[in-house]
Amino acid sequence: MTDSKLQVIPLGGLGEFGMNSMALRYGDDIIVIDAGMTFPDAELLGIDIVTPDFAYLEQNREHVRALILTHGHEDHIGAVPFLLSTLNIPVYGTPFTLALVERRLEEHELLRDAKLNRVKRGGKIVIGPFSIEFIHVTHSIVDSVALAITTPLGVIIHTGDFKVDPTPTDNALFDLHTLADYGKRGVLLLLSDSTNVDRPGYTESERAVRPRLEEMFVKAERRLIISCFSSSIHRLQQIIDLAQEYSRKVAFLGRSMTSTTEIAHDLGFLHIPDGILLRPQDIMLAPPDKVVVVASGTQGEPMSTMSRAAVDNHKNLSIERGDLVVLSARIIPGNEKAIYRMINHVSRRGADMVYGSMNPPIHVSGHGSAEELKLVLNLVRPRYFVPIHGEYRQLSKHASMASHLRDFGLEETFILDNGDSIEIDSRGARRGDRVPVGRVCIDSGSLDDIVEDMVIRDRRHLSEDGFVLPIVTISKHTKKSENLPEIVSRGFVSFDDNADLLQNARQVVQRTVDSSSDEERTDWGVMQEKIRADLKRFLIKQTARRPLIVPVILEV
């Protein structure tokens, strides 16, 4: 490799949503942009999160100089602990982004040795041959940036995630002037977000949500419960402002919601008036018409605040007749069943439920639609273009959108898969060699439970600890388990020789079922998770082994 060759290597985030990570190499210097995660598909039993395989970076560890973060969403920072556990490289990001990263590193006991460097929006840093400017962009999370990376061969613009919000709630506008200035001077390569390329027009401003939220405050005669993403600080600010206007106290529920709001408040991104907060344990004691609860769990995740409250299994919140429950978030494809199940449970409790598309909207996207993507293309006018962040259909459509720039200096557009590379030198850009990529499955969210290959993992798991199937029958009419659960196992222990263990295990499952409410027993996702957790604890304590537990619930 010569010093005059620049390589662009996507490690994740192309042809898929999530796991965003990109490596840039010039000579013997590599920088990494983002290290994100994604959540597993339903068939990945026992897996909690999925991260990119950083094998290429590990193979070239002596050349990796730094990790640069564009913003604090999990699909961009979720894999940071797993990368830093292997390569303890300096990390650069904006203050809010790094505050979220600190929380992750603390959970994994990596914070003490981490080298975190805060860079304000508009700031510049130099790492080897790379000079990097942090350009402020508007997105659904605060402190988001695009990156202008000046290399010896030219400038690379990496947009991160963005939308062009003309009226952001914090009045911090997208820095289009800086982007346009780079465009005038000449940009070698543009890497641009493709998430909403198939949506025509413009994405609505975050301010568009306020009229609908205000309508909810006017409409709510009793308790108002709003569920939104904890990272949506602009949305949370609007809720707090309306709560003050309508003389309601605000209670935040959910671990991520509480943690993120504390960070945002400490850094000055969330302004909370004195005396407006309500302790979670006081929610049910306060007058219902003077309370607004802001809860996590928009996607109906089992054991989340909203899922538990929906079946009256939350220690601080019970949803009652006449309450108004608002889902201020989009229904992510794949989560429909869990979300509608949660909505049904809320409706059974006699509460009103507001969700879905409407005008004015109750939720707006944080990603730019087609016209905003065209605006960025027209401002930057790159020599080469690579669409990023999306499945192949989005990348392909974004590439087609850029075709008109051929009259303005665009030489070529590359649609890449993870592991593909582009090499750029004085003669131009071309496809390079592929690098090793893949995904790493994480069991239990621990650095010690990384699973590099699902087939190997399952074979090892089954060969060492076997599997256990607790089978529970629940009456459709009584909502009760009328017979003691059956337990089938293979490769675990011989229950014929361990009659007491079998009987006690059946009793554990039975107690889990009996202690659950009628509504929980009709929510198979919640029941399976509760049975799996309780039986896992029991078997580990009794046998020190961790079999694969797959609860089976039959309705009779």
Query: Which positions are annotated as active-site residues?
Result: 193, 367
The answer to whether the beta carbons of residues 473 and 482 sit under 8 Å apart is yes
Structure tokens at 249: 């106290």
Cβ-based burial of 523 (10 A; exposed 0-12, middle 13-18, buried ≥19) = buried
Strand residue runs (E) in 42-153: 49-52, 64-68, 91-93, 116-118, 124-127, 130-136, 145-151
Closest-CA residue to 67 (of 47, 50, 48, 52): 52
Structure tokens at 52: 């990119």
- Rounded to an integer, what distance in angstroms lies between the CA atom of residue 382 and that of residue 405? 8
- Rounded to an integer, what distance in angstroms lies between the CA atom of residue 249 and that of residue 286? 9
Helix ranges (H only) for 273-363 are 305-310, 336-348
User: Which residue's structure tokens are 């709001």?
Assistant: 261
3-state secondary structure (DSSP) of residue 264: helix
For residues 212-230, b (16+ Cβ closer than 10 Å) or e, as one string? bbbebbeebebbbbbbbbb
User: Which residue's structure tokens are 């977000």?
Assistant: 193
- Dmax over CA atoms of the chain, in Å, equals 79
The answer to whether the beta carbons of residues 304 and 528 sit under 8 Å apart is no
Closest-CA residue to 552 (of 486, 498, 463, 458): 486
Position 491, amino acid: G
Q: Which helix (H) or strand (E) holds 387?
A: strand 384-388
Long-range contacts of 332-338 (CB under 8 A, 24+ apart): 332/299, 335/299, 335/300, 337/300, 338/299, 338/300, 338/301, 338/302, 338/307, 338/525
Position 24, amino acid: L
Residues near 141 by Cβ (< 8 Å), separated by ≥ 6?
71, 72, 73, 96, 231, 232, 233, 366
- 3-state secondary structure string, 169-216? CCCCCCCHHHHHHHHHHCCCEEEEECCCCCCCCCCCCHHHHHHHHHHH
The answer to whether the beta carbons of residues 159 and 376 sit under 8 Å apart is yes
